[in-house]
């Protein structure tokens, strides 16, 4: 079809050609102009020419030697266009391609932002950040009039550019409109790598963002409000300091923030303490006078505040106390010693140090030697003896005056009387017992997943056990049916029972800097929903309770307490 003419009158017809037209790319909602140039092949000038077109799309218009392309959002694709020209005697022809596509989607943010329930951005190198609750990716869209969505790839292995999560389709009306995608389906303790991009309904996408990484923390989402019927009436337990996280859980004068009482720092940790140690440092005990812990030796601070006293300068671990002594294993003496709380020299009870599994009762000290449960008199320089040999190595035990509850790595739970009479098999089937606690009716067991090996997220990766969930169960003291009380993320350690509740530390993986998701948790002995009473702290493995508070030690922060 003839759409225009060009040129000036000439006294004699001359041959001509059409200049090459470069291929054109234009985005929906934009315009592109193409000029057609007629080039004379002789010095006689060019007669007026008529233009004809084949393949010209419907969103194109012409005026003289100009073509205007103005595609809409439904016009994406590729269009071959040919221009024909004639002056009645001579002819010319040229062809080019018109592509309608979103080359890149403009947005205000240089990269999508990843946040969690705490609101802060995530993305430290090597997954050192911990994501609490549900991680989310946010990005701003384009106001080009096209329909977009946010695509996110969240994986534990290498990134491949394939989306695992997408938002709903939307058509932004201005450049500040945003998209959000929640990252679900990741297992607790995993290191997740994330990248994101915007894409339109025709498959075009932006360049994927720089990858960020984080560790999935072992806590449930606690987004408010959470209004419950408590004794004081209807209260929001996400912020009420008298009912924080649960009815009647008082914060004792501190704030309630997202269902958790703000912890109190009793004493900061010693600066520049190395992260890597043969054993967790910071065993914590409490009596009616002071809090005791192991850091730069055996340390104590009065409950009502005051100066710190270094009772014994030798560093150690396995701290416990009674009314008279502190029991510990100084690293430099290779013995199990006791230290008078009123002062005096260390008194070695058992030498050399037999194991880290050590407990004392008024007249005995118990310890483990492989498959053997051994003991010695609670007196200086005692000779050890074997109380019982079990069929499998012992993984944990809890000593009482009348006897000892013993767990083995074969999943068995025994009660061994202190007088050496026959042991009683209470139950079997536990996987990796972490800790034991008791009351007048039950033995409570924290046990975990089968071993799973992965590399730590440290500067020098180590092969570590990365199984990251635990179960809390109750077993009658005389044996019988096992009752499952709760399943929780993380490695449940330092199980304690007091006043009808179980407490434990939901610690991260030792030697692994990425596992900063440690917490202190509480559960009624009858079961139910665990309550987080302190978080987030790295590598908590010790816990002590008094009538009001839970005390714990975190290597990064120091000695802490939280209302229990």
Domain of residue 426 covers: 263-563
The reply to whether 25 and 96 lie within a common domain is: yes
The reply to whether 86 and 122 lie within a common domain is: no
User: Which of 140-154, 180-194, 214-228, 255-269 is the least confident region?
Assistant: 214-228
The reply to whether 406 and 508 lie within a common domain is: yes
- Asked if residue 159 is part of any domain, the answer here is yes
pLDDT band at 69 (very low <50, low <70, confident <90, very high): very high
- Average pLDDT, rounded, for the chain: 81
What domain count does the chain have?
4
pLDDT band at 373 (very low <50, low <70, confident <90, very high): very high
> For residue 177, what pLDDT is reported?
66
Q: How far is CA 422 from CA 291, 389, 390, 395, 479, in A?
A: 39, 11, 11, 20, 15
- 158 within 8 A of 213, measured Cβ to Cβ: no
> Dihedral of the CA atoms 552, 553, 556, 557 (nearest 10)?
60
What is d(CA 402, CA 375) in angstroms, rounded to the nearest whole number?
13
- Asked if residue 544 is part of any domain, the answer here is yes
CATH assignment of the domain containing 38: 2.60.40.10
pLDDT tens-place string over residues 326-341: 988 766 666 788 889 9
pLDDT score of 204 more than 80: no
pTM comes to 0.65
CATH assignment of the domain containing 142: 2.60.40
> For residue 252, what pLDDT is reported?
94
- Beta-strand ranges (E) seen in 409-482 are 413-417, 424-427, 433-438, 442-448, 453-455, 463-465, 469-476
> For residue 175, what pLDDT is reported?
56
- Asked if residue 107 is part of any domain, the answer here is no
The reply to whether 320 and 363 lie within a common domain is: yes
- Asked if residue 105 is part of any domain, the answer here is no
- Asked if residue 26 is part of any domain, the answer here is yes
The reply to whether 345 and 491 lie within a common domain is: yes
- Asked if residue 208 is part of any domain, the answer here is yes
The reply to whether 492 and 414 lie within a common domain is: yes
- Asked if residue 106 is part of any domain, the answer here is no
pLDDT band at 482 (very low <50, low <70, confident <90, very high): very high
Q: What number is the average pLDDT over the span 384-389?
A: 94
Q: Which of 100, 124, 142 is the last residue of a domain?
A: 100
The reply to whether 384 and 501 lie within a common domain is: yes
pLDDT band at 344 (very low <50, low <70, confident <90, very high): confident
The reply to whether 173 and 232 lie within a common domain is: no
> For residue 550, what pLDDT is reported?
95
User: Which of 167-181, 301-315, 402-416, 501-515 is the least confident region?
Assistant: 501-515
What is d(CA 498, CA 486) in angstroms, rounded to the nearest whole number?
17
pLDDT band at 10 (very low <50, low <70, confident <90, very high): very low
CATH assignment of the domain containing 333: 2.120.10.30
> For residue 272, what pLDDT is reported?
47
The reply to whether 247 and 394 lie within a common domain is: no
Q: Which of 207, 234, 262 is the last residue of a domain?
A: 262
The reply to whether 508 and 433 lie within a common domain is: yes
The reply to whether 252 and 271 lie within a common domain is: no
> For residue 146, what pLDDT is reported?
67
What is d(CA 490, CA 216) in angstroms, rounded to the nearest whole number?
10
pLDDT score of 125 more than 90: no
* Residue 280 C-alpha from the chain's centroid: 22
The reply to whether 428 and 318 lie within a common domain is: yes
Better-scored residue on pLDDT, 126 or 215: 215
Q: Which of 100, 128, 146 is the last residue of a domain?
A: 100
pLDDT band at 285 (very low <50, low <70, confident <90, very high): very high
- Asked if residue 108 is part of any domain, the answer here is no
């Amino acid at each position: 079809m003839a759409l225009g003419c060009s040129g000036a009158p000439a006294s004699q017809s001359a041959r001509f050609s059409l200049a090459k037209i470069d291929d054109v790319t234009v985005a929906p909602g934009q315009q592109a102009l193409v000029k057609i140039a007629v080039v004379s092949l002789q010095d006689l000038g060019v007669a007026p020419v008529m233009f004809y077109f084949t393949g010209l799309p419907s969103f194109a218009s012409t005026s003289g030697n100009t073509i205007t392309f103005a595609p809409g959002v439904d016009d994406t694709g590729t269009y071959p266009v040919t221009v024909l020209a004639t002056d009645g005697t001579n002819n010319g022809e040229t062809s080019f391609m018109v592509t309608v596509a979103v080359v890149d989607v403009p947005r205000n943010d240089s990269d999508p932002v990843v946040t969690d329930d705490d609101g802060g951005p995530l993305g430290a190198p090597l997954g050192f950040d911990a994501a609490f609750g549900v991680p989310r990716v946010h990005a701003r869209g384009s106001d080009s009039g096209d329909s977009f969505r946010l695509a996110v790839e969240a994986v534990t292995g290498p990134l491949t550019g394939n989306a695992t999560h997408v938002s709903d389709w939307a058509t932004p009306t201005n450049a500040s409109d945003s998209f959000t995608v929640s990252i679900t389906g990741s297992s607790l303790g995993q290191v997740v790598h994330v990248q994101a991009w915007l894409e339109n309904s025709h498959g075009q996408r932006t360049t994927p963002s720089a990858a960020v990484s984080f560790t999935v923390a072992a806590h449930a989402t606690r987004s408010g409000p959470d209004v419950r019927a408590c004794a004081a009436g209807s209260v929001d337990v996400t912020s009420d300091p008298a009912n924080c996280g649960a009815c009647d859980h008082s914060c004792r004068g501190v704030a309630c923030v997202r269902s958790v009482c703000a912890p109190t720092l009793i004493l900061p940790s010693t600066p520049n303490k190395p992260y890597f140690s043969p054993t967790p440092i910071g065993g914590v005990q409490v009596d009616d006078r002071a809090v005791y812990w192991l850091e730069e030796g055996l340390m104590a601070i009065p409950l009502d505040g005051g100066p710190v006293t270094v009772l014994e300068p030798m560093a150690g671990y396995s701290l416990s106390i009674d009314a008279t002594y502190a029991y510990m294993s100084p690293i430099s003496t290779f013995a199990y010693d006791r230290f008078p709380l009123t002062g005096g020299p260390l008194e070695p009870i058992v030498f050399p140090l037999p194991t880290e599994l050590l407990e004392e009762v008024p007249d005995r000290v118990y310890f483990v030697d492989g498959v053997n449960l051994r003991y010695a008199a609670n007196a200086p320089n005692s000779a050890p003896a074997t109380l019982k040999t079990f069929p499998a190595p012992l993984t944990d035990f809890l000593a009482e005056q009348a006897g000892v509850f013993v767990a083995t790595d074969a999943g068995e739970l025994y009660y061994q009387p202190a007088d050496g009479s026959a042991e009683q098999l209470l139950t079997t089937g536990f996987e990796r017992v972490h800790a034991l606690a008791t009351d007048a009716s039950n033995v409570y067991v924290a046990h975990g997943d089968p071993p799973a090996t992965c590399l730590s997220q440290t500067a020098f990766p180590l092969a570590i056990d990365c199984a990251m969930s635990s179960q809390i169960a109750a077993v009658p003291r005389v044996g019988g049916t096992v009752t499952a009380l709760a399943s929780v993320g993380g490695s449940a350690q330092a199980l304690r029972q007091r006043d009808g509740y179980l407490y434990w530390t939901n610690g991260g993986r030792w030697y692994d800097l990425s596992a900063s998701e440690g917490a202190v948790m509480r559960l009624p002995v009858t079961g139910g929903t665990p309550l987080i009473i302190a978080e987030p702290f790295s590598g908590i493995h010790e816990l002590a309770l008094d009538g009001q508070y839970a005390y714990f030690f975190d290597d990064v922060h120091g000695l802490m307490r939280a209302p229990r």
